[in-house]
Each structure stands twice: as C-alpha cells, then as structure tokens.
Amino acid sequence: MPTSSRCVKIGFIGGGMMCQVAHLPFYLGNRYCEVVAVAESRPSLVEALRHVVGQARVVNDYRSVLEDPAVDAVVISAPRPATGPLTLEALTAGKHVLAEKPMAHTFEQAERLVAAARDAGVLYSVGYMKRFDSGIERATEMLRQLRDSDRLGALLFARIFDYSRSYAVPPPPHTRPAESRKTRFETWPLWPNWLKAQHREAYSWFMNAGCHDINLLHLFMGGNLSVVAARMHVDCAIAAQLEADGVPVMLEIAKTAAGRWLEGGEFLFEKGRLAFSVPSPMDKTGVTQVRLEEEDGSEKIGKTDSGWSFARQAEGFVSALTGEAPLRNPGIEGMADMELIETIWRRIQLQ
C-alpha cells in the first residue's frame, strides 16, 4: 500500500545516463520525497554522483538499498537484461518500484513481477513516461470525447508508428562511465524460448523500441486488442495489423536514419482526423503535438501543458506513493503489453 507519510524515501539502483538526466533530478527537487541512496559501483560515476547527492548517499552495493528499512521505494535504471531480476528483488524486499522499460522480455517474466508486487502489497510502475506527456493526455481525452459524442462519425482506422533509430537531439549533460562494471547483475533471457534463433535479435530490438508504442495502443484503444497479422520486412521493420472492437489498427515499428524523431499516430473518422506527433524522449522542452482536422477544412490544435514527461512521471510516482493519485503506469498493464508483443511475434514466425 502507499506510504502514509507525506515524505517518501527513495533509493536508486543504477547511476547511468537515464538515472542522471531522466530520474534523479526530479526526485531531488520534489519536496514530498527524500533521496536516501544511489547504488552505483563504477568509480567515474560514483565520483560524479557524489557531487550531486553527497558522498554518504552513494553506495556500491544495490543490496544495501534493498535492505535499508528507511527506503520506501526504488527507481531502477539498469541494463535491460538485468531490469527484471532487480525489480523482482526489490519487490520481494517489500519496496515500491518504478523500473525503466521494458519491464522484462517475456510474458512469463512479466507475470512473475506482477505477482511479486501483488504478494508484497507494493506499487509497481513501469517507466512508460509518454503516458505523462501532456499532449498524449490531451490526445487520449480528445479521442474519448470524439468517440463518445459521435460528432465525427465512426472511427474507421487507427495507426501508430515509430520510425526512430536514435534520439535525434543530444541528451542533457551527464557523466558517461569511464570503465565497465566489475560486478555484474543477474540477467534474464531477452526472448521467449519458443522464438526461432533468426528472430531473436530483432525481437530484443523490437521489445526496447516498440514497447512504448504498444503501451500507447492500449492507452488509446483499450485492452480489447487482437492481432490479425504481423510481418517483418527486414530485421528493423515490423508491421502488425490489429483490431480493437472491430476497428482496424496498424502498428509500424522501424528504424531509419532520418535525422529527426519520427513517432506519432492518427485516428481517421468518417468526418475528420485526429493526429499526434511525439517528440524525442531527450527533448526536455518537447510536448506531443495534437491536431484535429474536420470535414469543413478547419483545424484545431489540442491545447497542452508544458513539462518534460520524465519530470511529470516522477511527480506521478510520488503522488501514487503518498496516496494522492492512482498509479498511472502499473505493471499489470505492462504485462498486457508483453502478452501482445509475444502474440505479434508468434504471427511473424508464421510468415
């Protein structure tokens, strides 16, 4: 259950780039929480982190964070193969968790994590920070209103695409490690055991690149998504045809060196179109742009708030921990994303 205290105590596992730029600053700046410890063993990062949080708060062994009774919750930003095992340890230790995506790499792994959170009675959140982008929030609300009102007629098609290969903008300043880890984390497999060998690297890439977009599909279209067909053109271009309550839905994930971040979606109605364009995750000032086009030729720009989605995600996690708001990116919904991803890849293996 959420902590009853107005000040929650947070520990971090992993002090790399994502910790430094996308997580740690927003907990340090939140008056309702206290950063107790950051676990990082690489000497160059230890030195950099001590300048930020103080020498006493940087620890070499992440287990000391999990064993500290003062720590209410942990934020995990670690190598992808280690995210699942670290999350499981933290949940089993009775800590609330926010872990970077992907939460794991198979549905079975995800089930273990969700079950561990349930058994421990703690909150488990997956780092789908795009749910906190005010433009995504606005697009979700506009789509709901349009479908409820039937003002633009029936929804004919939905589509989400993500063609980006790199951040396209420089990440905020951070310290890169000057050495490799001497202590290795436990890891889990990066693909299900039924997946053919020739598909495994592409599956691992898709899981990392596309899980955000799968999560957005569920956010926009609800949980009743089924896979009609899926195809891998080359090992970096995946297209899937889905269906949600009779509405055809297209998902396109690819990587291209286009020089800018290319991610977004559209919803085509009988009498108009709702479209959105997502900024690079490293664009601190970027907010998803939303546009509504109607049959009379008019266009309406969806009004959005400012604020980097990572900062808003941290605020949301703390609000959930204090009981002031529900958890908006829970692990159980991430588990549904994992199940859908595996279904897509079972279809790909049939091609």
Contact 108, 131 (CB under 8 A): no
Contact 44, 58 (CB under 8 A): no
Mean model confidence pLDDT for the chain: 95
Indicate the class that CATH gives domain 8-129+313-329. alpha beta
Say whether pLDDT at 335 is over 70.
yes
Say whether pLDDT at 351 is over 90.
no
Rounded distance, CA 263 to CA 162, Å? 4
When pLDDT is cut at 50, 70 and 90, the band that residue 303 belongs to is confident
When pLDDT is cut at 50, 70 and 90, the band that residue 235 belongs to is confident
Ordered by start, the domain boundaries in the chain are 8-129+313-329, 131-307+336-348
pLDDT in tens, 83-136: 999 999 999 999 999 999 999 999 999 999 999 999 999 999 999 999 999 999
When pLDDT is cut at 50, 70 and 90, the band that residue 261 belongs to is very high
- How far is Cα of residue 192 from the mean position of the Cα atoms in its chain? 20
pLDDT computed for residue 306 by the predictor: 84
pLDDT computed for residue 266 by the predictor: 98
Question: Which pair of structure tokens corresponds to residue 343?
Answer: 């279904």
Say whether pLDDT at 234 is over 90.
no
Say whether pLDDT at 9 is over 70.
yes
Rounded distance, CA 246 to CA 91, Å? 38
pLDDT computed for residue 3 by the predictor: 66
pLDDT in tens, 98-112: 999 999 999 999 999
Say whether pLDDT at 349 is over 90.
yes
Question: Which pair of structure tokens corresponds to residue 143?
Answer: 């789509």
pTM: 0.95
SS3 at position 339: helix
For the CA atoms of the chain, what is the radius of gyration? 20
Mean pLDDT of the region 327-345 = 97
Per cent of the chain over pLDDT 90 is 89
Say whether pLDDT at 242 is over 80.
yes
* Helix residue ranges, H only, 131-181: 134-149
Could you tell me which residues come within 8 angstroms of residue 118 by beta carbon, excluding any fewer than 6 positions away?
A: none
pLDDT computed for residue 118 by the predictor: 98
Question: Does domain 131-307+336-348 sit in CATH 3.30.360.10?
Answer: yes
When pLDDT is cut at 50, 70 and 90, the band that residue 1 belongs to is low
Say whether pLDDT at 334 is over 60.
yes
pLDDT in tens, 150-183: 999 999 999 999 999 889 899 999 999 999 987 7
